[in-house]
Structure 1
Amino acid sequence: MDTTDFRLINWDLAATTAATLVGAGPVLTPAQIAAVVADLRTKADASVEHVHRITGLEAAKDLRDSQVLIVDRPGWARANTQSFEAMLAPAMEQLAKTRGEKISEATQVLSSLATGVEMGAILAFMSSKVLGQYDPFAGLLRADLPAGGRLMLVAPNIVAIERELKVDTDDFRLWVTLHEQTHRVQFAAAPWLREHLQSKIAELLASLLAEPEALGERLRAAASEVVRGKKELGTAAGTKTDTGIPPAQNGLLAGLRTGEQKAIISHITAVMSLLEGHANVVMDAVDSSIVPSVRTIRQRFGGRGKDRSALEKWMRKLLGLDAKMRQYADGQRFVTKAVKLMGMEGFNKVWEGEENLPTEHELHHPEAWVTRMSGADAGTQ
C-alpha cells in the first residue's frame, strides 16, 4: 500500500467544519481590526524585553527562527489542523505499514470524513476560547516556514475577554503576550525540547493509532457534546451531579490502557506543566510599573470560571481543559519553589537538557528535583 495515500482524518474537512461552526467573535470594523492587529504586534514585541529581564534567558535576545501571527478563530483552527497532520504523519505512516492492508479504502474514506467533522467540531469549540498559542512544530509543515515555530495570538478572543472583564486594553494585551512570548523564549532557550516533545508525542500517537477504533470513539464522544445543545446535556444518560452534568470528566486521553501509554502521558504532563507554570510565573512577576492594572486583571481573569455555562463546563472536562488549568497551578508551584531554593539562574538548568526535566513526581515535590540537580552539579565538579 502507498502510505502517502493513507488517511484516517480528513484535515481539510476538519478546518472547514471548524470555520463553519465557530462564531466570528466581536463585531469590529476593518479599521478596528487593523488597529487591534497592529497593537497586538506591538505588545508582543514589547513583552520580549520583560521576559528576558524576568527569566534571565539570553535566548530572548534572538527569536529570528520563529514568527508571530495575529489570527482569527478559523485561522487558529486551520493552523492546528496543519500541525496535527504534521505531528501525526509518522504514526500514520507506521499504521499504514502495519495495518494498512486490513483497513479498506472505503473504510478509510468513511473514517476520514467522520473524524474530520468530529475534529472540526472540537477545534471550533477550542478556537473560541484560546487567547494565544505557541506552536513549536510549525516548521514540520513546510521547508519555507521558520524552523523555530510560530506564536499565534487569537485577536477576536482577546478583544472578547477584555470587553467581558472591562479591563484596560493596553494592560491586558501586554499581560497576555507576556505569557505567550515566554513559551517562545522557552523553546529558543532549549532548542532540543522541540524534538524531544515531538518524539514523545509521536510515541503516544503511534500507540493510540494502533487502536484507531478506540481513538475514533474518543473523538466521537467529544465532538458529539460540541454539536449537542445545552438542553440535551440536562437529559444525558448517567448519574447527575448537582449541576445536572454527568460525571464523564476524563478527557480524550481517558482509558489509556498500557503502562507505556501512562508513562508517556505522565512525562508529557510534567513537561507541559513546567512550561505553563513557568509562563505564569513570568506573568505574575510583572508589577504595576509594567502593567498598571495588573491586580485588577488577575482578579477578574481568575474569576471567569464562575460564569461558565453548563455546556462549557462539560466541554472543558471532556476535552481535558480543566486538567490543563491544573497544569498551570501545579507548574507554577513547582517553578516558584525551585526558584526560591535555587535562584533563577539555578532553576534555568532545566533548559539545558532533557535529563534536567522534572518527572511528574518531582513536579509535585520540587525539593526532590532541586536535590537531584544539586547532586548533578556535585558530580560534575
Structure 2
Amino acid sequence: MSSVAESSAAGDPVTGVSGGGDRDEGASPIENIDWGLAATVGKRIARPGPRVTRYTADRARAELADAAVRAEAPVREVTGLADGLAVPTAQILDRSGWIDAAARSMPAMLSDEGLVAQQPEIKPHGTGVTGKIAGAQAGGLLAFLSSAILGQYDPFSLDPETGEPGVLMLVAPNIIAVERQLRVDPSDFRLWVCLHEVTHRVQFSANPWLTDYMRSNIGALTGDEDESVTDLVSRVTGALRSDKPREKGVIGLMQLLQSPEQYEAFERVLVLGTLLEGHADHVMDAVGPAQVPTVAAIRAAFDQRRSAPKNPLQRLIRALIGMDAKMAQYIRGKAFVDHVVDRVGMDLFNTVWTSAETMPRMTEIDEPDQWIERVLS
C-alpha cells in the first residue's frame, strides 16, 4: 500500500489507463490493462540498480530481513496496535521483483474475490489492442517507480509463505542507492525504513476493515462512468466558471475531471493515505532514538532529499502521477498525528482506527483539534 521512496513516498499510485472500443463492459480502467505485458515492459526498460559486489548485496538482503523482524516489537509498543499475529518474513526484492509484485497486486486490489494469493504467473486481465496499449503505458510507470520505491506493504495479497493477509516488501538496490547518496549509516537506515513499512503492516493487520475500505473507495474512484464526453466538458466548464473554491495542483485537477461521487472517493483515499503515511512517519521518529542511534541525521538528510529540486523531466512525471501530492501526505499527515498524540496520547489517538466515521475529514487533517472535538468529545 504505502511506501518510502527516493523521490516520493509511495507506495503505490493507482494507475487507471482508459482504452477504446474493445474494453470489457462494466470493467474499471485498471482491469483493462495487460499486466503481464506491463511487467515485461517495465522490467525491460527499468534502470539498473547501483553496482554492488555479491557480498554487499547478500549482506544487505540478510540485514533487511533481520531489521524487518526487529522492527515489529518497538512498532507494536509505540503504536499500541499489537495485533498478536506472528511476525512475517519480509520479501527482499530487486527492481524486477518489485515490478512483478506490483503487476500482481494492482488487479488484486480491485478483485471481488477478496484477498488474492500471489501466483507465479501474472494474469493479463486486459485483452485486445487496448489492453496491450494500456499494458505498455503501465509498464513505463512501473519502470519509473521501481527505482523510487524503498519499501511497500501490500494488504491486498496473501503472504505466499504463511497464507496470512498482507505482503511486506523491501527493494534492496534502492535502499542501498539512497543510503549511499545520503551518506548515512547503512544499518541504521535499513532499520529506519523497516520501521515505516512494518508500521503499515501493523495498521492493516490490527484493523482488517481498512483493506476493504481502501478497495471499495479505489473501486469507486477507478470505476467506469456513463458520463459522455459532452457531459464531462459541460461539467468542467461549469466548474471553471463557478466561484466555488477548488484545491490547487493535482488535487484541483481531480476535482475538475471527476464526477462528484468519484471525487468523494478520491478524497477518502487521499485522507486515508495521509493518515497512514503520517502515522508511519510519526512512529519512525518516536521509535527512532531508542532503536536507531543516528535517526536525527537520517531524518535531516532524508527530508532534505525530499525537498531537493528535480530536473524538468522528473517534475513532469511527478506532476502527472501525483507524487508531489503524495509528498504533502507525509508532511500534513505527520503534523496531524504529532498534534493529536501530543494532546491526547496514543491510546485515544487510536480511536481513529475504529471505523470510516472516525477517520479524519479532509479539513480536519490541517485542523486536528476539529477531529478531537468531533470524535473524542
> Which of 1 and 2 has higher RCO (CA within 8 Å, sep 6+)?
2
Say if 1:2 and 1:23 are closer, same or farther in 2 by CA, change over 3 A.
closer
8 Å contact kept, 1:334–1:366: yes
Alpha-carbon offset, residue 21 of structure 1: 0.8
Partner of 1:53: 77
Say if 1:2 and 1:162 are closer, same or farther in 2 by CA, change over 3 A.
closer
Partner of 1:224: none
Alpha-carbon offset, residue 212 of structure 1: 11
- Matched letter for residue 115 of structure 1: A
2:358 to 356, 359, 362: 356
- Matched letter for residue 346 of structure 1: L
TM-score (norm. length: structure 2): 0.78
Q: Provide the C-alpha distance between the structure 2 equivalents of 1:44 and 1:143, rounded to a whole number of angstroms.
A: 17
SS at match of 1:308: coil
SS at match of 2:342: helix
Alpha-carbon offset, residue 276 of structure 1: 0.3
Structure whose residues are more often helix by fraction = 1
Alpha-carbon offset, residue 35 of structure 1: 1.4
Correspondences of 1:96-135 after superposition (within 5 Å): 108-135=127-154
Partner of 2:15: none
State how many pairs are aligned: 321
Partner of 1:326: 328
- Matched letter for residue 82 of structure 1: R
Q: Provide the C-alpha distance between the structure 1 equivalents of 2:127 and 2:284, rounded to a whole number of angstroms.
A: 45
User: Does 1:30 find its partner at 2:54?
Assistant: yes
Correspondences of 1:276-315 after superposition (within 5 Å): 276-304=277-305, 305-306=307-308, 308-315=310-317
Alpha-carbon offset, residue 289 of structure 1: 3.7
Say if 1:118 and 1:254 are closer, same or farther in 2 by CA, change over 3 A.
farther
- Matched letter for residue 8 of structure 1: N
Q: Deviations over 1:323-361 (max 9, x none)?
A: 001011111111111112221100011122222111112
8 Å contact kept, 1:138–1:146: no
Q: Deviations over 1:255-306 (max 9, x none)?
A: 5331111111111111110000000001111344421111111111111142
Correspondences of 1:1-381 after superposition (within 5 Å): 8-59=32-83, 61-63=84-86, 67-89=89-111, 108-139=127-158, 146-207=163-224, 250=250, 253=254, 255-304=256-305, 305-306=307-308, 308-375=310-377
SS at match of 1:138: strand
Alpha-carbon offset, residue 249 of structure 1: 5.7
Q: Provide the C-alpha distance between the structure 1 equivalents of 2:23 and 2:317, rounded to a whole number of angstroms.
A: 37
Q: Provide the C-alpha distance between the structure 2 equivalents of 1:254 and 1:370, rounded to a whole number of angstroms.
A: 27
Alpha-carbon offset, residue 143 of structure 1: 8.8
- Matched letter for residue 74 of structure 1: S
8 Å contact kept, 1:8–1:109: no
Structure 2: unaligned runs, 5 residues or longer:
1-21, 114-125, 230-247
Greater C-alpha radius of gyration: 1
Q: Deviations over 1:185-219 (max 9, x none)?
A: 001111111111111111112146x6799xxxxxx
SS at match of 2:153: strand
Q: Provide the C-alpha distance between the structure 2 equivalents of 1:345 and 1:338, rounded to a whole number of angstroms.
A: 11
Q: Deviations over 1:221-262 (max 9, x none)?
A: xxxxxxxxxxxxxxxxxxxxxxxxxxx963895753311111
- Matched letter for residue 154 of structure 1: V
Q: Provide the C-alpha distance between the structure 2 equivalents of 1:77 and 1:211, rounded to a whole number of angstroms.
A: 33
Q: Provide the C-alpha distance between the structure 2 equivalents of 1:255 and 1:20, rounded to a whole number of angstroms.
A: 35
Q: Provide the C-alpha distance between the structure 1 equivalents of 2:24 and 2:334, rounded to a whole number of angstroms.
A: 43
Q: Deviations over 1:53-103 (max 9, x none)?
A: 2112222x4245x65211111111111111112234459xxxxxxxxxxxx
Q: Provide the C-alpha distance between the structure 1 equivalents of 2:130 and 2:162, rounded to a whole number of angstroms.
A: 30
Alpha-carbon offset, residue 157 of structure 1: 0.3
Q: Provide the C-alpha distance between the structure 1 equivalents of 2:56 and 2:309, rounded to a whole number of angstroms.
A: 28
8 Å contact kept, 1:14–1:119: yes
Partner of 2:245: none
Q: Provide the C-alpha distance between the structure 2 equivalents of 1:115 and 1:211, rounded to a whole number of angstroms.
A: 21
Q: Deviations over 1:353-376 (max 9, x none)?
A: 22211111222221111112224x
- Matched letter for residue 297 of structure 2: T
- Matched letter for residue 118 of structure 1: Q
8 Å contact kept, 1:15–1:120: yes
- Matched letter for residue 62 of structure 1: L
Structure 1: unaligned runs, 5 residues or longer:
92-106, 214-247, 376-381
8 Å contact kept, 1:41–1:70: yes
Say if 1:12 and 1:362 are closer, same or farther in 2 by CA, change over 3 A.
same
Say if 1:201 and 1:145 are closer, same or farther in 2 by CA, change over 3 A.
farther
SS at match of 2:152: strand
8 Å contact kept, 2:23–2:130: no
Q: Which deviates more from structure 2 when the two are superposed, residues 331-340 or residues 350-359?
A: 350-359
